[in-house]
């Protein structure tokens, strides 16, 4: 992009622009087509108003900013004017901005404005700033900033907030902070723009420092600033801190609006904190906050990802208007909870209602549901169907679902064929699906080949190394296991620690494998041992599959006993009454041993246990799992 230099203020002479008194042109604002507009334009010319800025300004505004949107005609009218005023220049700049034209056009009008000695006003600069933001025009943006100062608008709060947004957009946080600190009056927009800006570029702690420095009275009355900070934590997956901040918000009696509610619901979704999510949902209903399609979708997503499909369906069915996101959220919720046929039936209902058409994401969710439920024929059918009926070409996610579906079903050759025939190079998620299938079905040779490709595609993903090392371990390739671990060390890749979360009495309890930081650690570990003793009588034998070292069988058992989900189950049994459901969220895929333990505990203790791992839900009840051991 060619840089267009701006003129210095010293080159611009000030000029008083006079405007003609308003003239009534009947029906001008009601024009809906260019033909009608041309008729009215001809009328103004007949009235001798072809050089009148006010009359022609109205014509240009309709061309540039209304639904008529004919910039070529606006430009023709503009060129007929001998002395366009600031209003007309501003209108042309806005028109080109809103038509998504490059910032060069907007800057060019501004330069012409200065060359013709037309003084800009406070309405000139906001669209110029936005134009620079859209095109990433840093140097031009800085020059616009200097002109704002030179023309005497440095005290205009609206313009200064626009500048903060511009510098944030450029990742020029120091400059954004400088503009902010020089503001005489910092309003909600100022604070929120800066806080969101720092969060946007990953500076979450700095964003929180700004939030904390807000004057108490302003913070107390600014739900939007609270939401900016809570949303920042959510977007960074710092869900605990988001909920902690929400508790402080409630303590300070700040009114909760639908935006705050949506952000907190997302935090509850991330942690699987169902009770907190229910509280927010109840608050929304009792406060009379409108549950529109967007907020409704957030509530549906929360219930689905807390494994509470009945409540999700209640919200879904009560929505007066269901957008595509609502349908996709509900179909995806069924899919991840292992209800593939129900996901397909909901797709059919969506088609019967014929109000919203399925899209790319809809079929990702349907195919994912087929993969989680082992519906091979249905998956093949809908993979073809989406293209034949809706013209949706398969993308990487669709291919990944098909490889996952076929691989889990043991159809490794067909899965490999899908990869070979993809029109694009497979990414790590597609190859990772085949690698996981190779481990499940013991195809070590293919698994080793795919595993080496995967770790090169995602060299910083510890899970890929662990899966490959487990594959080698299962084939007793201890030297190759050591090589994988050495490669991890050489590249500085750390294995992601397993952690599990269980919410009890509105408090989120988090565990890591073997961790003893919980206040009830002593009772929890005693209960783990008692729990395992109880299920041994029901046939429990530790599954030591996948140990990464050539060690004795006895040594392999001990770490298994204290996996994070077992600790969470033990606390759940200690703190809940018989008959209550335990809901646990784990950051990694649940291992075979913990899966077996979940089934046996549900039988021996007569409890339902819902575990959400990285890939899907497991509903343990009566000694069985909803995944039918297919995960």
CB 209 within 8 A of CB 173: no
CB 104 within 8 A of CB 139: no
Would you say residue 534 has pLDDT above 60? yes
Query: Who's near 408: CB < 8 A, 6+ residues apart?
Result: 371, 374, 437, 440, 630
Task: Please give the pLDDT value at position 14.
Answer: 34
H/E run at residue 495? none
Q: What percent of the chain has pLDDT over 70?
A: 92
Instruction: Tell me the C-alpha distance between 372 and 626, whole Å.
Output: 10
Spatial strand order in the sheet of 617-621: 507-512, 499-504, 582-586, 609-612, 617-621, 624-625
Instruction: Tell me what the mean pLDDT of segment 126-134 comes to.
Output: 92
Q: Output the pTM of the full model.
A: 0.79
Would you say residue 288 has pLDDT above 60? yes
Q: How confident is the model at residue 94 (pLDDT cuts 50, 70, 90)?
A: very high
Please give the C-alpha separations between residue 148 and each of 13, 24, 110, 388, 532, in angstroms, as whole numbers. 16, 35, 13, 56, 71
Instruction: Tell me the C-alpha distance between 233 and 249, whole Å.
Output: 14
Would you say residue 220 has pLDDT above 90? no
Please give the C-alpha separations between residue 468 and each of 173, 249, 443, in angstroms, as whole numbers. 42, 46, 12
Query: Who's near 367: CB < 8 A, 6+ residues apart?
Result: 379, 382, 383, 398, 401, 402, 405
Please give the C-alpha separations between residue 552 and each of 483, 489, 544, 548, 558, in angstroms, as whole numbers. 20, 24, 11, 12, 11
Which string of b and e fits 201-221 if b means at least 16 CB within 10 Å?
A: eeebebbbebbeebeeeebbe
What SS3 state is found at 593?
Answer: helix
Is the model more confident about 506 or about 437?
437
Would you say residue 7 has pLDDT above 50? no
CB 540 within 8 A of CB 529: no
Instruction: Tell me what the mean pLDDT of segment 403-407 comes to.
Output: 95
Instruction: Tell me the C-alpha distance between 268 and 256, whole Å.
Output: 16
- Cα-Cα end-to-end distance for the chain: 51
Task: Please give the pLDDT value at position 555.
Answer: 36
Instruction: Tell me the C-alpha distance between 615 and 601, whole Å.
Output: 22
Q: How confident is the model at residue 11 (pLDDT cuts 50, 70, 90)?
A: very low
Instruction: Tell me the C-alpha distance between 237 and 255, whole Å.
Output: 24
CB 160 within 8 A of CB 130: no
In tens, the pLDDT along 477-529 reads: 888 999 999 999 999 988 878 899 999 988 889 999 889 999 999 999 999 99
- Measured in degrees and rounded to the nearest 5, phi and psi for residue 476 equal 60, 35
β-strand pairing of 609-612 with 617-621: antiparallel
Lowest mean pLDDT among 20-29, 40-49, 98-107: 20-29
The residue count of the chain comes to 631
Task: Please give the pLDDT value at position 30.
Answer: 64
Instruction: Tell me the C-alpha distance between 207 and 200, whole Å.
Output: 9
What SS3 state is found at 233?
Answer: helix
In tens, the pLDDT along 106-122 reads: 999 999 999 999 999 99
Q: What is the mean pLDDT of the chain?
A: 88
In tens, the pLDDT along 230-275 reads: 999 999 999 999 999 999 998 988 888 999 999 999 999 998 889 9
Instruction: Tell me the C-alpha distance between 481 and 473, whole Å.
Output: 6
- Among 152, 105, 150, 149, residue whose Cα is nearest residue 127: 105
Q: How confident is the model at residue 27 (pLDDT cuts 50, 70, 90)?
A: low
Task: Please give the pLDDT value at position 29.
Answer: 64
Instruction: Tell me what the mean pLDDT of segment 399-415 comes to.
Output: 95
In tens, the pLDDT along 299-315 reads: 999 999 998 999 999 99
- Measured in degrees and rounded to the nearest 5, phi and psi for residue 511 equal -130, 145
Task: Please give the pLDDT value at position 16.
Answer: 34
CB 587 within 8 A of CB 496: yes
- Among 586, 588, 564, residue whose Cα is nearest residue 462: 588
CB 65 within 8 A of CB 95: yes
Instruction: Tell me what the mean pLDDT of segment 356-363 comes to.
Output: 97
Lowest mean pLDDT among 19-23, 91-95, 577-581, 620-624: 19-23
Q: How confident is the model at residue 20 (pLDDT cuts 50, 70, 90)?
A: very low
Task: Please give the pLDDT value at position 545.
Answer: 63
Exposed / middle / buried, residue 240 (Cβ in 10 Å: 0-12, 13-18, 19+):
middle
Instruction: Tell me the C-alpha distance between 129 and 376, whole Å.
Output: 53
Lowest mean pLDDT among 155-169, 319-333, 497-511: 497-511
Instruction: Tell me what the mean pLDDT of segment 329-343 comes to.
Output: 95
């Amino acid at each position: 992009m060619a840089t267009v230099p701006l003129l210095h203020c010293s080159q611009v002479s000030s000029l008083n622009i006079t405007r003609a008194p308003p003239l009534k042109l009947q029906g001008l604002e009601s024009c809906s087509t260019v033909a009608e507009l041309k008729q009215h334009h001809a009328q103004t010319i007949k009235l001798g108003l072809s050089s009148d800025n006010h009359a022609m300004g109205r014509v240009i505004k309709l061309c540039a900013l209304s639904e008529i949107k004919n910039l070529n005609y606006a430009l023709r009218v503009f060129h007929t004017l001998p002395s366009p005023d600031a209003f007309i220049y501003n209108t042309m700049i806005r028109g080109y901005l809103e038509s998504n034209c490059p910032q060069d056009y907007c800057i060019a009008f501004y330069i012409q404005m200065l060359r013709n000695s037309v003084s800009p006003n406070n309405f000139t600069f906001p669209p110029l700033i936005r134009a620079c933001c859209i095109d990433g025009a840093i140097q031009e943006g800085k020059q616009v900033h200097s002109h704002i100062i030179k023309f005497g608008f440095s005290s205009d709060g609206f313009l200064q907030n626009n500048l903060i947004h511009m510098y944030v957009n450029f990742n020029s946080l120091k400059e954004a902070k400088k503009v902010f600190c020089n503001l005489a009056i910092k309003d909600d927009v100022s604070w929120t723009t800066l806080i969101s800006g720092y969060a946007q570029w990953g500076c979450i702690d700095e964003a929180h420092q700004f939030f904390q420095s807000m004057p108490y009275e302003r913070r107390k009355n600014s739900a939007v600033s609270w939401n900016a900070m809570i949303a920042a934590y959510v977007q960074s997956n710092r869900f605990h801190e988001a909920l902690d901040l929400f508790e402080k918000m409630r303590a300070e009696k700040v009114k909760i609006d639908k935006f705050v509610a949506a952000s907190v619901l997302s935090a509850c979704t991330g942690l699987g904190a169902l009770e907190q999510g229910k509280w927010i949902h109840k608050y929304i209903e009792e406060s009379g906050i409108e549950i529109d399609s967007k907020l409704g979708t957030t509530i549906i997503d929360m219930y689905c990802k807390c494994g509470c499909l009945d409540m999700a369906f209640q919200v879904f069915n009560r929505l007066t208007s269901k957008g595509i996101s609502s349908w996709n959220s509900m179909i995806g919720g069924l899919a991840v909870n292992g209800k593939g046929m129900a996901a397909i039936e909901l797709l059919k209902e969506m088609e019967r209602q014929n109000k919203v058409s399925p899209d790319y994401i809809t079929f990702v969710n349907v195919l994912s549901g087929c993969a989680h439920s082992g519906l091979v024929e249905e998956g093949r059918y809908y993979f073809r169907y989406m293209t034949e009926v809706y013209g949706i070409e398969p993308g990487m996610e669709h291919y990944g679902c098909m490889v996952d579906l076929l691989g889990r079903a043991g159809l490794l050759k067909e899965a490999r064929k899908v990869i070979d025939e993809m029109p694009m190079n497979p990414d790590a998620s597609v190859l990772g699906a085949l690698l996981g299938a190779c481990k499940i079905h013991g195809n070590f040779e293919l698994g080793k080949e795919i595993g080496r490709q995967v770790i090169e595609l995602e060299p910083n993903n510890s899970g890929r190394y662990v899966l490959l090392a487990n594959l080698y371990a299962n084939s007793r390739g201890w030297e190759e296991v050591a090589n994988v671990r050495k490669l991890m060390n050489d590249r500085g890749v750390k294995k992601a620690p397993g952690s599990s979360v269980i919410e009890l009495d509105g408090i989120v309890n988090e565990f890591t494998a073997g961790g003893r930081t919980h206040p009830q650690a002593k009772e929890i570990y005693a209960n783990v041992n008692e729990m395992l003793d109880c299920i041994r009588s029901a046939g429990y034998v530790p599954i030591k599959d996948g140990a990464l070292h050539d060690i004795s069988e006895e040594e392999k058992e001990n770490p298994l006993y204290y996996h994070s989900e077992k600790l969470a189950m033990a606390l759940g049994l200690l703190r809940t009454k018989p008959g209550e459901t335990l809901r646990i969220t784990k950051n990694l895929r649940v291992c075979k041993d913990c899966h077996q333990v979940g089934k046996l505990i549900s039988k021996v203790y007569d409890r339902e246990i819902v575990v959400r791992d990285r890939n899907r839900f497991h509903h343990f009840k009566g000694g069985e799992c909803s995944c039918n051991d297919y995960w």
